[in-house]
């Protein structure tokens, strides 16, 4: 069962990295390469935030996870050693409401909406861009749950190996908590301005 949990972490990261690449190359890349600007620079910035940084982190994490050879402790170490890097998700999650607003604005423009639909069709995505832009928010809040599955099925619930798994859970739980806390503060600040 532990092998299946580790495999699920690797497989889901592979799918996630592929989805991120499709956003970066299939949408953002096409917007940048368009001969005529389809979206204004501020729309592009609001829409995609720091998605390229997140794609880079996910790609590196995936390479690390793939080299773990189904070792749950090695998987845990991947998260512990990269713990500081996950802070980039805070920026993305804080920007997410702006991303939704920018996408809503784009969908009101016939030219922009058609362009985004064409990108979606070219990528053969069943879901529109908005569903893909939500994925980093969902993913960062799921890591600690996946790691908890490793701990739940760990054979020896004592020793250095188990401590590393617990440290990984703690690390990613703190990241999720911090992101939720920053999101609350951000929303509170917006309410205060209103």
Per-residue pLDDT of 39-59, as tens digits, reads 999 999 999 999 999 999 999
pTM as predicted: 0.91
In this model, does residue 192 exceed pLDDT 90? no
Span 128-169, pLDDT tens digits: 999 999 999 999 999 999 999 999 988 877 788 999 999 999
Span 103-112, pLDDT tens digits: 999 999 999 9
Taking the C-alpha atoms of residue 157 and residue 121, their distance in angstroms, rounded to an integer, is: 49
For 18, 63, 84, 100, 139, the CA distances from 57, given in Å and listed in that order, are 13, 10, 11, 23, 13
Q: Which alpha helices (DSSP H) does the chain contain, by range?
A: 2-23, 29-33, 41-48, 51-66, 72-81, 88-108, 110-123, 129-140, 143-152, 160-193
Taking the C-alpha atoms of residue 51 and residue 88, their distance in angstroms, rounded to an integer, is: 9
Taking the C-alpha atoms of residue 185 and residue 194, their distance in angstroms, rounded to an integer, is: 14
Q: Which CATH architecture has domain 1-192?
A: Up-down Bundle (1.20)
Q: Where are the domains of the chain?
A: 1-192
Q: Which residue has the tokens 């991303």?
A: 99
């Amino acid at each position: 069962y532990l092998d299946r949990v580790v495999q699920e972490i690797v497989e889901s990261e592979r799918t996630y990295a592929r989805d991120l690449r499709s956003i970066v190359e299939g949408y953002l890349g096409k917007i940048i390469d368009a001969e005529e600007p389809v979206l204004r620079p501020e729309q592009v910035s609001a829409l995609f935030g720091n998605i390229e940084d997140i794609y880079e982190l996910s790609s590196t994490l995936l390479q690390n996870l793939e080299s773990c050879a189904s070792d749950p402790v090695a998987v845990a170490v991947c998260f512990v050693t990269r713990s500081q890097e996950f802070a980039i998700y805070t920026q993305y999650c804080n920007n997410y409401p702006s991303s939704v607003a920018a996408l809503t604005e784009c969908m009101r423009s016939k030219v922009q909406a058609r362009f985004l639909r064409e990108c979606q069709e070219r990528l053969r995505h069943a879901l529109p861009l908005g569903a893909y832009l939500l994925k980093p928010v969902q993913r960062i809040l799921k890591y600690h749950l996946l790691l908890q599955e490793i701990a739940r099925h760990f054979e020896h619930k004592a020793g250095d190996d188990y401590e590393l798994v617990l440290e990984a859970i703690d690390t990613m739980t703190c990241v999720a908590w911090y992101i939720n806390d920053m999101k609350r503060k951000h929303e509170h600040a917006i309410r205060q301005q209103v």
